[in-house]
């Protein structure tokens, strides 16, 4: 027992080693670093200095699953969410937005749930229209979002409304936004329903999952050195590409016998992340 305690104390007092799993190091942090706000690295390999916290509740939003402590982001993301929630609140049946995961208090890889969301510029927004913005923290653990998909994501189901279209359009039309991930059937539906300007559809990217929530990714804030943007989506509205996704869902191609097996991914260690991330961990 004594030996165990000595080992435990040693383990807790050892400084973060470059070879330790980053998800353990960042997952253990309960508050932000006392640093100037900065996103270091890329969406799926980085960290967040000086994070701002999305308040648990505002006039037009509620943060969900508070026990996860993932309502932290770059200040620009917090502003964006508040702005979008005010626009959502103007849609019929929407009191605002239920907001899912942003980032951990210091960003970085997570023990569960996402590969990205590491630099405070990603947010998951629930598809469930909020009726009430007076949920207790217990209710925010228990309530679930609802799926919008039918036929494995080839189509939207009867829960999908024009309000979903308008809210996602408002998000994509915001110049801070780089791209939005949503299931293929939703993109095809929006492609059909949009009769006006189609430029915003460029940022809507069909992806796996993403039928209980849509995922908004901001561009790196202006002038932020060391923040790595993802390449912009190809030009055009991307509607033909989304239709290809749907066709593949409806008529899956036969498995390619020559396909190489994907290598299992190695967990990121601290040394994989930008140099600044060690400082983000060490800051008080
Ligand atoms: Zn996400």
Instruction: State the distance from the centre of ligand 1 to the C-alpha of 45, rounded, in angstroms.
Output: 14
Q: How far apart are CA 258 and CA 273, in angstroms?
A: 33
Instruction: State the distance from the centre of ligand 1 to the C-alpha of 168, rounded, in angstroms.
Output: 14
Residue in 207, 202, 212 with CA at minimum distance from that of residue 179: 202
Q: Which two tokens stand for residue 248?
A: 């593949």
What pLDDT sits at residue 194? 98
- Strands (DSSP E) contained in 113-244 are 122-126, 149-150, 155-156, 177-182, 204-206, 213-218
Residue in 179, 185, 133 with CA at minimum distance from that of residue 160: 185
pLDDT average, residue stretch 199-203: 98
Instruction: State the distance from the centre of ligand 1 to the C-alpha of 37, rounded, in angstroms.
Output: 21
β-sheet bridge partners, residue 180: 204, 216
Q: How far apart are CA 223 and CA 232, in angstroms?
A: 17
Q: Which two tokens stand for residue 42?
A: 């890329």
Instruction: Read off the pLDDT band of 4 (50, 70, 90).
Output: low
Instruction: State the distance from the centre of ligand 1 to the C-alpha of 139, rounded, in angstroms.
Output: 21
Digit-coded pLDDT (tens) for 47-70: 999 999 999 999 999 999 999 999
Q: Which two tokens stand for residue 134?
A: 């007076």
Residue in 255, 162, 159, 156 with CA at minimum distance from that of residue 206: 156
Instruction: State the distance from the centre of ligand 1 to the C-alpha of 136, rounded, in angstroms.
Output: 23
Give the Cβ contact number of residue 28 at 10 Å: 13
**Which pTM was predicted?**
0.92
Is residue 168 within 8 A of residue 179, CB to CB? The reply is: no
Instruction: State the distance from the centre of ligand 1 to the C-alpha of 122, rounded, in angstroms.
Output: 7
What pLDDT sits at residue 2? 55
* pLDDT beyond 80 at 167: yes
Digit-coded pLDDT (tens) for 96-134: 999 999 999 999 999 998 899 999 999 999 999 999 999
pLDDT average, residue stretch 41-46: 98
Start-to-end CA distance of the chain, whole Å, equals 31
Instruction: State the distance from the centre of ligand 1 to the C-alpha of 11, rounded, in angstroms.
Output: 32
Q: How far apart are CA 53 and CA 73, in angstroms?
A: 6
Residue in 211, 215, 127 with CA at minimum distance from that of residue 177: 215
Instruction: State the distance from the centre of ligand 1 to the C-alpha of 87, rounded, in angstroms.
Output: 21
What pLDDT sits at residue 224? 95
What pLDDT sits at residue 1? 54
Q: How far apart are CA 252 and CA 146, in angstroms?
A: 26
- 31: Cα within 13 Å, side-chain hemisphere: 6
Instruction: Read off the pLDDT band of 212 (50, 70, 90).
Output: very high
Instruction: Read off the pLDDT band of 257 (50, 70, 90).
Output: confident
Is residue 116 within 8 A of residue 149, CB to CB? The reply is: no
Digit-coded pLDDT (tens) for 65-94: 999 999 999 999 999 999 999 999 999 999
Burial group, residue 272, by CB count within 10 angstroms (0-12, 13-18, 19+): middle
Instruction: State the distance from the centre of ligand 1 to the C-alpha of 248, rounded, in angstroms.
Output: 23
Instruction: State the distance from the centre of ligand 1 to the C-alpha of 215, rounded, in angstroms.
Output: 5
* pLDDT beyond 50 at 10: no
* pLDDT beyond 50 at 267: yes
Mean pLDDT computed over every residue of the chain: 94
């Amino acid at each position: 027992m004594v030996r165990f305690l000595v080992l435990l104390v040693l383990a807790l007092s050892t400084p973060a080693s470059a070879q330790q799993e980053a998800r353990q190091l960042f997952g253990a942090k309960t508050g932000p670093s006392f640093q100037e706000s900065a996103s270091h690295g890329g969406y799926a390999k980085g960290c967040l200095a000086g994070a701002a916290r999305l308040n648990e509740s505002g006039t037009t939003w509620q943060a969900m699953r508070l026990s996860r402590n993932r309502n932290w982001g770059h200040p620009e993301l917090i502003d964006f969410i508040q702005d979008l929630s005010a626009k959502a609140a103007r849609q019929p049946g929407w009191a605002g937005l239920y907001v899912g995961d942003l980032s951990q208090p210091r960003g970085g890889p997570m023990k569960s749930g996402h590969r990205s969301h590491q630099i405070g510029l990603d947010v998951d927004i629930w598809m469930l229209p909020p009726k009430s913005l007076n949920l207790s923290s217990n209710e925010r653990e228990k309530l679930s979002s609802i799926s919008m998909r039918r036929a494995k994501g080839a189509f939207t189901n009867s829960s999908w409304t024009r309000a979903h279209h308008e809210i996602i359009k408002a998000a994509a039309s915001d110049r801070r936004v780089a791209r939005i991930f949503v299931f293929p059937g939703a993109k095809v539906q929006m492609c059909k329903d949009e009769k006006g300007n189609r430029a915003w559809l460029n940022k809507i990217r069909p992806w796996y999952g993403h039928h209980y929530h849509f995922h908004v990714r901001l561009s790196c804030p202006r002038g932020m050195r060391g923040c790595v943007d993802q390449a912009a989506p190809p030009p055009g509205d991307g509607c033909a590409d989304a239709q290809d996704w749907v066709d593949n869902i409806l008529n899956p191609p036969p498995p390619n016998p020559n396909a190489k097996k994907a290598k299992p991914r190695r967990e990121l260690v601290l040394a994989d992340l930008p140099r600044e991330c060690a400082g983000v961990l060490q800051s008080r």
